Amino acid sequence: MKSLLLLSLLVWSQLPPVPDERGFAGSFAGVSQGALIVAGGTHFIGKMPWEGGSKLWYDTIYALDKPDGNWRVLGRLPKANGYGVSITTPEGLIIVGGGNATEHFRDVFRLENGATLPPLPKPCAFMSGCLLGDVIHIAGGIEAPAATSALNTFWSLDLKKSGARWQELPPCPGKPRILGCMAAANNAVHLFSGAALSAGPDGKPVREWLDDAWRYTKAGGWEKLPAMPRKAVAAPSPAPVAGSKILIIGGDDGANADFEPKSKHPGFPRDVLAFDFESQSWENAGEAPFSLVTTTAVTWNGRIIIPGGEARPGVRSPRVWSADAGALRTLPDTGMKKGGQ
């Protein structure tokens, strides 16, 4: 008889879509004064990127006050921005870094009142981040839009410490990366997947999809975890936590990176990977009805929210997905459990 696994089953439904028919990728998202927030991000109008189309950057801040309500325009970001880190705190939403087509930013500020926080040590976008207790952690990213190597950095900011500045922590021993997925769980920071960068023959950045997983604690430093069952670049981050499970929802495994024709790209994987930080093992937690990357996972009203993102290369989605992790259920082993070092 097969062993049994505890899996978190997600039942997905849709909230009102973001009020832009194209949707956005790289938006900031979180909770502010009880409302769900989606701000900034990018999309293409007219031509797709492989046709020479230009990516457009936005500064609009949208708010949804209740799940069955209507989106409203709350205001504008200080400048068009995307691909930074969103940190929801009890005091509201914090915007960290990001950038546009020509530059990346050091700015860190509270969305509610525009109050500035200490700027990042360097301009940074396409990084990953999470909040552990009262401390923001930021890993990797790139300093400029055309960078051909990722930052080998790991920064922290203690929000409760008066006069605090960003601290340089030991970087992850794995390859420097962009678009990793991070989670705070079990008194530790976890970092999954992402893409390493190098310069191609034409001088443009080339990605290497990563499947490694890491855990950081202040006392013990970095520890390598069992490798992921598959790569999951740009999965919704910070990754939701349900019980002892960290949920990696979709993400790009790179299998269709060279797919042609690009207009027929099938999208990204939809399976949900669950890392059990108690047993140090991976499990399959079902499948999502969407494949969205370069987006933020938000916890709102006890639910996991995935507000839009990139559905396939060049194509965004305005759909907002919602799931209640619900009770942990005992199910037959899917044969996917993976543990050990």
Q: DSSP letter at 49?
A: G
Residue that the structure tokens 């108690």 belong to: 278
At 323-335, the pLDDT tens digits run 986 633 433 333 3
User: How confident is the model at residue 327, as a pLDDT?
Assistant: 37
Amino acid at position 237, single letter: S
Report residue 302 CA to chain centroid gap: 19
Q: DSSP letter at 48?
A: -
Question: In this structure, what token pair is assigned to residue 211?
Answer: 């499947």
Report d(CA 170, CA 181) in Å as an integer. Answer: 18
Residue pair 53/44 in contact (Cβ under 8 Å)? The answer is yes
Report d(CA 190, CA 183) in Å as an integer. Answer: 5
**Low-confidence residues in the chain, pLDDT < 50:** 1-8, 327-337, 340-341
User: How confident is the model at residue 4, as a pLDDT?
Assistant: 34
User: How confident is the model at residue 208, as a pLDDT?
Assistant: 98
CA angle (158 as vertex; 192, 149 as ends), nearest 5: 40
User: How confident is the model at residue 143, as a pLDDT?
Assistant: 98
Report d(CA 129, CA 132) in Å as an integer. Answer: 10
At 255-312, the pLDDT tens digits run 999 999 999 999 999 999 999 999 999 999 999 999 999 999 999 998 999 999 999 9
CATH for 246: 2.120.10.80
Neighbours of 41 (CB within 10 A): 32
Question: In this structure, what token pair is assigned to residue 19?
Answer: 């009020």
Report d(CA 127, CA 69) in Å as an integer. Answer: 32
Report d(CA 306, CA 93) in Å as an integer. Answer: 16
The gap between the terminal CA atoms of the chain, to the nearest Å, is 26
User: How confident is the model at residue 324, as a pLDDT?
Assistant: 87
Report d(CA 30, CA 37) in Å as an integer. Answer: 5
Amino acid at position 191, single letter: L
264 phi, psi to nearest 5 deg: -110, 15
Q: How many independent structural domains does the chain possess?
A: 1
Residue pair 316/307 in contact (Cβ under 8 Å)? The answer is no
Q: For residue 271, give its domain range.
A: 4-339
Torsion, CA 7, CA 12, CA 17, CA 21, rounded to 10: 90
Neighbours of 261 (CB within 10 A): 7
User: How confident is the model at residue 325, as a pLDDT?
Assistant: 64
